[in-house]
Amino acid sequence: MGLVIKNAIIVNNDKIWDRPQDILCEDGKIVKIVSSINAGGHETVDAKGKKVLPGLIDIHVHLRQPGREDKETIETGSKAAVKGGFTTIMCMPNTNPVIDNPMTVEYIMHEANRVGLCHVYPIGSITKAQKDEELTDMAELKAAGCIAFSDDGKSVLNSRLFRLAMEYAKMLDVLIIEHCQDPLLTSGGVMNEGAVSTRVGLKGDPGIAETVTVGRDIEIARYLDARVHLAHMSLKRSCELIRWAKSQGVKVTAEACPHHFSLTDEACASFDTSTKVNPPLRAREDVQAIKEAIADGTIDCIVTDHAPHTKEDKEVGFDGAPFGLIGLETSLGLVIKELVKPEIINLPKMVDKMSTAPAKVIGLKSKGIIKEGFDADITIIDENKEWTVAKEGFVSKSKNSPFIGWKLSGQVECTICNGKVVYKV
Amino acid sequence: MEWKRKHLLGLEELSKQEIQLILETATSFKEVSFRDIKKVPALRGKTVVTLFFEASTRTRVSFELAAKRLSADTLNIAINTSSTSKGETLLDTAKNIEAMNVDAMVVRHGLSGSPFILAQGLNCSVINAGDGCREHPTQALLDMFTLKEKFGHLEGLKIALVGDILHSRVARSNIWGLTKLGAQVTVCGPATLMPRGIEQMGVGVDYDLKRVLKNSDAVIALRLQKERQEAKFLPSLREYSRLFGINQDKLSEGSSNLIVMHPGPTNRGVELSAEVADGKQSVILEQVTNGVAVRMAVLYLVLGTKEEVVI
**Fold that domain B137-287 belongs to in CATH:** Rossmann fold (3.40.50)
Rounded-to-integer distance, Cα A133 and Cα B135, Å: 42
Q: Does A116 touch chain B (CB under 8 A)?
A: no
Would you say residue A190 lies in a domain?
Answer: yes
Would you say residue A31 lies in a domain?
Answer: no
Rg of chain B over all Cα atoms, to the nearest angstrom: 19
**Closest Cα in chain B, distance from residue A320 (Å):** 8
- Residue A174 has φ and ψ, to the nearest 5°, of -120, 160
Q: Does A284 touch chain B (CB under 8 A)?
A: no
Q: Does A320 touch chain B (CB under 8 A)?
A: yes
Which residues of B are less than 8 Å from A184 in CB distance? Answer: none
Q: Is the pLDDT of residue A315 over 90?
A: no
pLDDT at A40: 87
Work out the percent of chain A whose per-residue pLDDT is above 90. Answer: 98
Rounded-to-integer distance, Cα B170 and Cα B251, Å: 22
pLDDT at B1: 82
| Residue ranges making up the domain that contains A247 | 55-362
Give the pLDDT confidence of A133-191 residue by residue, as tens digits.
Answer: 999 999 999 999 999 999 999 999 999 999 999 999 999 999 999 999 999 999 999 99
Q: Does A157 touch chain B (CB under 8 A)?
A: no
**Residue of B9, B81, B196 to mutate, testing the A interface (most A Cβ within 10 Å of its Cβ):** B196
**A199/B196 Cβ within 8 A:** no
- Split at pLDDT 50, 70, 90, the class of A31 is very high
Which residues of B are less than 8 Å from A319 in CB distance? Answer: 110-112, 132
**Residue of B112, B134, B192, B201 to mutate, testing the A interface (most A Cβ within 10 Å of its Cβ):** B112
Q: Does A118 touch chain B (CB under 8 A)?
A: no
**Closest Cα in chain B, distance from residue A269 (Å):** 9
Contacts of A212 (CB under 8 A, 6+ apart): A182, A185
Q: Is the pLDDT of residue A266 over 50?
A: yes
Among B220, B167, B162, B174, CA closest to B201:
B174
- Please state, as a whole number, how many other Cβ atoms lie within 10 Å of the Cβ of residue B226: 10
Q: Does A194 touch chain B (CB under 8 A)?
A: yes
Contacts of B242 (CB under 8 A, 6+ apart): none
Would you say residue A4 lies in a domain?
Answer: no
> Which residue among A194, A201, A318 sits closest to B197, beta carbon to beta carbon?
A194
The number of folded domains in chain A is 1
Positions of chain B with pLDDT under 70: 81-88, 305-311
- Residue A403 has φ and ψ, to the nearest 5°, of -100, 5
**Residue of B92, B109, B111 to mutate, testing the A interface (most A Cβ within 10 Å of its Cβ):** B111
ipTM of the complex: 0.88
User: B16-136+289-304, which class in CATH?
Assistant: alpha beta
pLDDT at B305: 54
pLDDT at A56: 98
Q: Is the pLDDT of residue A14 over 70?
A: yes
pLDDT at B87: 53
- Would you call A73 helix, strand, or coil by DSSP? coil
pLDDT at B81: 62
State the pTM of this model.
0.92
Active site residues of A: 305
Which residues of A are less than 8 Å from B91 in CB distance? Answer: 315
**B114/A203 Cβ within 8 A:** no
CATH number of the domain within which A130 lies: 3.20.20.140
Rounded-to-integer distance, Cα A141 and Cα A134, Å: 15
Among A16, A89, A109, A50, CA closest to A329:
A89
Check whether the bond before A348 is cis (ω within 30° of 0).
no
Strands A378-388 and A407-417: antiparallel
> Which residue among B12, B89, B113 sits closest to A271, beta carbon to beta carbon?
B113
**A202/B112 Cβ within 8 A:** yes
Would residue A56 be called left, alpha or beta, if left means φ above 0 and alpha means ψ between -120 and 50 degrees?
beta
Would you say residue A306 lies in a domain?
Answer: yes
Q: Is the pLDDT of residue A408 over 50?
A: yes
The CA-atom distances, in angstroms, between A284 and each of A195, A196, A210, A236, B163 are 12, 11, 17, 10, 30
**Closest Cα in chain A, distance from residue B168 (Å):** 8
Q: Is the pLDDT of residue A41 over 60?
A: yes
Residue of A nearest to B84 (CA): A316
For residue A18, give the DSSP letter: S
Which residues of B are less than 8 Å from A318 in CB distance? Answer: 111-113
Alpha helices (H) along A152-252: 159-172, 183-186, 195-200, 208-224, 236-247
pLDDT at A39: 86
* Mean pLDDT for all residues in chain A: 97
Q: Does A167 touch chain B (CB under 8 A)?
A: no
Could you tell me the end-to-end alpha-carbon distance of chain A, in angstroms, rounded to an integer? 23
> Which residue among A195, A312, A318 sits closest to B200, beta carbon to beta carbon?
A195
Dihedral (C-alpha) A132, A134, A138, A141: value to the nearest 10 degrees?
-80
Where does chain B hold its CATH 3.40.50.1370 domain(s)? 16-136+289-304, 137-287
**A203/B198 Cβ within 8 A:** no
Long-range contacts of B63-66 (CB under 8 A, 24+ apart): B63/B106, B63/B127, B63/B129, B63/B138, B63/B295, B63/B299, B65/B33, B65/B292, B66/B292, B66/B293, B66/B295, B66/B296, B66/B298, B66/B299
- Split at pLDDT 50, 70, 90, the class of A87 is very high
Would you say residue A404 lies in a domain?
Answer: no
**B172/A199 Cβ within 8 A:** yes
